[in-house]
Amino acid sequence: GAVVSQHPSRVICKSGTSVKIECRSLDFQATTMFWYRQFPKQSLMLMATSNEGSKATYEQGVEKDKFLINHASLTLSTLTVTSAHPEDSSFYICSAKMVNTEAFFGQGTRLTVV
Amino acid sequence: DAKTTQPPSMDCAEGRAANLPCNHSTISGNEYVYWYRQIHSQGPQYIIHGLKNNETNEMASLIITEDRKSSTLILPHATLRDTAVYYCIVREYAGGTSYGKLTFGQGTILTVHP
């Protein structure tokens, strides 16, 4: 299957700082990328959908000013958690797809805010 | 997207077939059945998908009932590395107005034991 890479895999940051997570499709051009969040012992929750070159569509209850998503190219999307707080600590996962294909997932990023 | 119901957990002996059921009684005609799995602390992995015919690939087989209200994922010879959370998801194929986003339920925790 296609390869999606996330970086970093783990990050610890201080409360009040911002953290950027990268999601890259390594061997295909992703027309659409998705960002999910997963708390311990819970399922994945979709945060937003982004299409290359356009603004992301956020799910209800997700603050777009706190979780900034940029999808500037067909192989890269970034999620920036602004002014992070301990309650933002979670496992963040991206997925990417081409038109008419299934979605492929990155390995996830474990964010810990201290 | 149609809702799915899966048992919360299942056990399977190594080397035996693992049969994971999924109910999707409200599935509509243009919706596909997708299966993903998530091994602990990793991103989900695509397994298989189907519309109405049974499907098989190198990982698993998907059996969909004739009325399409339920399906079964079969791992023919389970190994310890197949221990994971298995998600059954129903949605429009790839594109559509939702751009193929996936809505994850709680899934089935499959434990393969020696």
Would the CB atoms of A46 and B101 count as touching at under 8 Å? Answer: yes
**pLDDT value at position B97?**
47
Residue A99, min C-alpha distance to chain B (Å)? 7
The rounded mean pLDDT for chain A is 93
Q: Are A105 and A4 in contact (CB under 8 A)?
A: yes
In whole angstroms, give the CA distance from residue B110 to residue B8. Answer: 9
Q: Which of B27, B29, B31, B32 is nearest to B3 (CA)?
A: B27
Query: Of A83-97, B38-52, B91-105, which gets the smallest average pLDDT?
Result: B91-105
**pLDDT value at position B70?**
97
pLDDT band at B11 (very low <50, low <70, confident <90, very high): very high
Q: Are A95 and A108 in contact (CB under 8 A)?
A: no
Residue B107, min C-alpha distance to chain A (Å)? 8
The rounded mean pLDDT for chain B is 91
- Segment B13-41 shows an average pLDDT of 94
Q: Are A113 and A85 in contact (CB under 8 A)?
A: yes
- Segment A7-17 shows an average pLDDT of 97
User: In degrees, to the nearest 5, what angle opens at C-alpha B90 toward C-alphas B104 and B42?
Assistant: 35
Q: Which residues, in sequence order, are bridge partners of residue A105?
A: A95
pLDDT band at B99 (very low <50, low <70, confident <90, very high): low
Pick the more confident residue, B77 or B1: B77
From chain B, the residues in CB contact with A104 under 8 A are: 46
pLDDT band at A1 (very low <50, low <70, confident <90, very high): low
